[in-house]
A and B are shown apart, each in its own frame.
Chain A
Amino acid sequence: MSTLIGRRLILAVVTLFIVSLIVFMGVEALPGDTATAYLGQSATPESLASLREEFGLNAPVHQRYLDWLGGVVKGDLGESMSKRKPVADLIGNRFRNTLVLATAAALIGIPLAIVLGVIAGLTRDKWPDVFVSTTSIMGMTLPGFVTATILIYFFAIRLEWFPAITLVPSDVPVLELLPNIVLPIITLTLIMVAHILRLVRTNMIDVLTSDYIQMAKLKGVPYWSMVFKHALPNAMLPTINVVALTLAWLLGGVAIIETVFNYPGIGQLMITGITDRDFALVQGIAIILAVIYIALNLIADVLSMILNPKLRTARGH
């Protein structure tokens, strides 16, 4: 098994390397450059040249890529030109805020999704399933900004239970942040639950029609024991990877929810970065999100290897 994990690790590093290349090149290709965007109307050829000199924009592309990559490996994401601050400092608190949002949503969402998915799977094609499945289609496919907008209208404008937007600086302590982010958490949770529960449901149905469940029933195993001991573990195995993918995918789209709620997170910063043509900032955020994506997948792979006896006992190639 350790060889298998080792292979995954090497693959992850290779993928990350390719990502860094794509991200760097993609951002480099953005029209205009930071210097122009930063100086705006007041730019003179001289001031542009000196700014470019200062940030090393005149070096050839491959040189700059290697410099940047070297920095990233050491944890130095470079300097933001528009904010005149190290990228790491800019990201710091906002990354924490996004993490708070995502973690809260995951902690509520994953267990909820599993429970609902199991219920839907057990009551296949009966009303609880139809209800849960239909709602989940909407939750999954409606864009985050639509869900968020509807929630804001009812809970912030009509009922006035929660604030419509977050009006706190990015560096408030987590505890002060929490009451402000009920709606963003609900939005994110809804989307996540919808994604995961559909999968749990499908896997559950697959497992429930398997020979070994029929066997368990004919062996006289009581219903709930059949569900929890025989069905659920097998239905969950293929779910692990998808939970990781869904989490990572949601993180990629979290910028929209942050924008809707004006939440000081990393996604909002990313959009500012693109508008400002702040190369270093966008590259930094992209590489962080890619690392998270790859790490989540890696964790899921390892986890399913540990939990799946078929993989665990494989002698590995």
Chain B
Amino acid sequence: MSDCLVDVNDLTIGYYTQRKKLVHVLMGVNLQIKPGETLGLVGESGCGKSTLGQAMMGYLRSGSQVLGGSVFFGEHNVFSLNSKQLESIRGRQIALIPQNAGDSLTPTLRVGKQILEAIELNANLSGSEAKDRMIELLGQVRLPHPEVMGERYPHELSGGQQQRAVIAMALAAEPEMLILDEPTTGLDVTTQAHILNLLRDIVSEMGTAMMYISHDLGVIARVSDRVALMYAGEIIEDTDVVEMFRMPAHPYARGLLESIPRLSLSGIPNSMPGQPPIPGTEPGCSFAPRCKFTSDICISEQPELEAIQGTEHHVRCHNWEQVLATDFSQELEQVFRTISRAAHDESAIELSEVAITYYRPGITDRFRSESEPPATVSDITLSVKRGETLALVGESGSGKTTIVRTLAGLLPAKDGTIKFEDFDLSVEVDKRPREICKDIQLIFQNPDASLNPRQNVAEILDQPLKLYFPKMNRDERRDRQIELLERVRLDGRYRLRYPGQMSGGEKQRVAIARAFAADPEVVLCDEVTSALDVSVQAAVLDLLADLQQERHTTYIFIAHDLAVVKAIADRVAVLYQGRLCELGTVDEIYSPPFHPYTETLLGAILVPDPDHEPQLLASDTPELAPPATGCSFQRRCPYTLGEICEQEIPPWQKTASRGDHSIRCHISIEELKRMYKDKELIRLDHNEHLENEPQIVHANSNVSISSPEADDR
């Protein structure tokens, strides 16, 4: 075992509930990491991956205890070290990069000071040497103006910048091992791609071992050499990254990979039934209740993590031979279900020149000569056909949520008209007649927040029924509730449950049932799957598609995940800083010619394929507000033409004589097409991505280093 950096041996961790019941979190985990190796630890929420990561640093959440096994870091058994000895390992030999960098930096200490602390504690440097090292580190993580950044407080940095600062802190002592706990979750795709590139470079430069914890298989495929898959507190498959994605041997691994929407395959992926058990509650295989290969032995006997025919491919399954009998790539292509779409030609909603602003002049502002800031959303003209799914895509701050809130009547439009059945939707909800309200329903991202925790499902579903169908009596409403629950594939008995008693997927189904209780024409879906695990996401997408087919409902679908959009949408509108960039059908948007911003977004996508490499075009510098004049993307655009882009709003250009695909750019369509071809050629020539990303995009640093609040308005 001497060649291992970390050796986790039969580790079992659990805690006692208030009722003195033992709950397991990890069950007999075995895992080894070699020096310089990158291990991807993947699993859905609640599988124990974060607990395992923290245990490697000798850290347990309060209340948890080690029930068996050991964790060796080099020579040391971390759970037998005293706190002094632990302090000397943590940060110096093994460092953590946590999920939420913003919350992990002490708010009252300057960023530089916190990095200095790590240097002084762990790298035996002090005074000006330490300070130089701090600035060097900030530069190494590619933060612009390291001297200035070091003087800032954590809240003055954007999310991506905070994450870089935390990485710098972890690198202070050049540790032998980094543990990364979902470090890019919650960041925009372009920022995520930049950070992952940075990490890859650092690791290859310094030879650091990494354990990368994530639920996102695209990220795992991008960074890992080896992948370990967790399910219900156990490691169920552990193998080389290519094997894991090309030849998964555990039925759960296959199910998981099959549930991810893919850019290369059209349609809605397969979903897995059921949900994971509490670790240690199944007498046999923990996946047996959900598995299609289940045999008698699976129910009675727990499988061991065994090597497949002497290879390094380990799997915890009784029937792996049966699983491997089918070729995975063929199986994958078969599970995608294409939906037949039946969009009508008439429009359901027509927006013309819509502008929306959050700016409300105060009393004192009226006397100031300052001009009004540019509107958050402006110049939106598009029509949504009946029965189709229109997706609004863009990073945070692109105005997609703002538009949907206006459609829902939570925010008035400042200018323009929104036509829905001869009614103008630019007014707030209290000025709309009841029937209009009924026809437009909204589903939120996070069902935890959108369901009242004090109402049970029956009460939740009763609200729209009472409001829109006042003639219904109690029994009719009750029958309707059961019918709605069945339509979202939930048992009628769920009526008596409270939100706290359901899983995330079940809650989102209830939220969908509530929207459909109104019998709406249009349903606005605001990131409805992004808070869910992938296996659940597929099921929800599938449900939405079915409901649409039954009732020809129109969907306006917001998502930041372009693969999800590809799976469910008919047409796509790409937004940047509240302005439209590109508009077209799914096929048109996902193939050239691209708007430079669309190209940036698509290039940054990570797909669950270890051979795929993202293309980084523009920098990930966040912007506070749209520019006052010209193209909204001017500051980040890699192809900017200079003055014309800064001064004039670009024209809409159609890409073909037929169809509606249009791009809003000063660069001509022919030029955009040609540029893309040229790049393909260069890519074949030398396989290097943009090493030096452009840093500050415009001179005014006040704007480029935005406050994080501005990101998620």
Contact = CB atoms under 8 A, between A and B. Distances in A.
A60 to B, nearest CB: 34
Interface stretch (B89-97, B259-267, B666-674): B89-97
A244 B153 CA distance: 27
Interface stretch (B117-125, B503-511, B512-520, B693-701): B117-125
Contact of A220 (B109, B121, B166): B121
Interface string B38-59: 0000000000000000100101
A236 to B, nearest CB: 9
A233 B110 CA distance: 13
8 contacts: A215-B106, A219-B122, A220-B87, A220-B89, A233-B109, A234-B108, A237-B108, A313-B156
Given A212-B103, A313-B153, A233 B90 contact: no
A212 B91 CA distance: 14
Contacts of B96: 215, 218-219
Given A215-B96, A219-B90, A219-B169, A309 B106 contact: no
B100 interface: yes
A212 B57 contact: no
A300 B96 CA distance: 37
B530 interface: no
Interface in B105-134: 105-109, 117-118, 121-122
B59 A215 contact: no
B107 A215 contact: no
Contacts of B86: 220
Contact of B107 (A212, A216, A220, A223): A212
Chain A interface size band reads: 20 to 34
Given A221-B117, A230-B109, A309-B155, A215 B87 contact: no
A227 B86 CA distance: 17
A309 B108 contact: yes
A83 interface: no
Contact of B90 (A217, A223, A237): A217
A210 B122 CA distance: 23
Interface string B148-159: 000001011000
Contact of B108 (A217, A218, A233, A313): A233
A46 interface: no
Nearest to A3: B364
A261 to B, nearest CB: 41
B311 interface: no
Nearest to B105: A212
Contact of A215 (B105, B121, B153): B105
Interface in B65-117: 83, 86-92, 95-96, 98, 100, 103-109, 117
Contacts of B90: 217-220
Contacts of B169: 219
A185 B287 CA distance: 67
Contacts of B109: 229-230, 233
Contacts of A218: 54, 57, 59, 90-91, 95-96
Given A212-B104, A220-B91, A230-B109, 13 more contacts: A211-B103, A212-B107, A218-B59, A219-B91, A219-B117, A219-B169, A222-B121, A223-B83, A237-B108, A307-B108, A308-B108, A309-B155, A310-B107
Contacts of B104: 211-212, 214-215
Interface in A219-247: 219-223, 229-230, 233-234, 237
A234 B107 contact: yes
Contacts of A233: 108-109
Contact of A309 (B54, B83, B95, B153): B153
Contacts of B121: 219-222
A222 B106 contact: no
Interface string A148-191: 00000000000000000000000000000000000000000000
Contacts of A230: 106, 109
Contacts of B92: 220
B122 A220 contact: yes
Contacts of B83: 223
Contacts of B117: 219, 221, 229
Closest 7 CB pairs of A and B: A220-B91, A211-B103, A220-B90, A309-B153, A215-B104, A233-B108, A219-B91
A69 to B, nearest CB: 26
A310 B153 contact: yes
Interface residues of B, number: 33
Contact of A211 (B87, B100, B156, B362): B100
A207 to B, nearest CB: 9
Contacts of A220: 86-92, 118, 121-122
B153 A216 contact: no
A212 B153 contact: no
Residue in A217, A219, A308, A309 with the greatest tally of chain B CB atoms within 10 Å? A219
Contacts of A219: 90-91, 95-96, 117-118, 121-122, 169
Contact of B106 (A209, A223, A234, A308): A234
A211 B98 contact: yes
Nearest to B103: A211
B232 to A, nearest CB: 25
A218 B78 CA distance: 13
A310 B155 contact: yes
A249 B91 CA distance: 46
A313 B153 CA distance: 9
Contacts of A223: 83
B163 to A, nearest CB: 13
A211 B118 CA distance: 16
Nearest to A209: B62
A309 B118 contact: no
A217 B60 CA distance: 11
Interface string A285-317: 000000000000000000000011110010001
Contacts of A222: 87, 121
Nearest to B59: A218
Nearest to A124: B62
Nearest to B84: A222
Nearest to A307: B108
Interface in A237-286: 237
A229 B109 CA distance: 8
A212 B106 contact: yes
A309 B59 contact: no
Contacts of A308: 108
Contact of B87 (A212, A214, A221, A313): A221
Contacts of B95: 218-219
A165 B71 CA distance: 66
A72 to B, nearest CB: 29
B349 to A, nearest CB: 35
A221 B96 CA distance: 13
Nearest to A232: B108
Nearest to A215: B104
A215 B99 CA distance: 11
A285 to B, nearest CB: 36
A313 B96 CA distance: 29
A219 B167 CA distance: 12
A308 B109 CA distance: 10
B426 to A, nearest CB: 27
A307 B108 CA distance: 8
Contacts of A237: 108
B539 to A, nearest CB: 31
Interface string A44-81: 00000000000000000000000000000000000000
B713 to A, nearest CB: 15
A157 B119 CA distance: 61
Nearest to A315: B707
A197 to B, nearest CB: 21
A40 to B, nearest CB: 54
B328 to A, nearest CB: 38
Contacts of B122: 219-220
Contacts of B62: 209
Residue in A210, A218, A229 with the greatest tally of chain B CB atoms within 10 Å? A218
Nearest to A309: B153
A223 B83 CA distance: 9
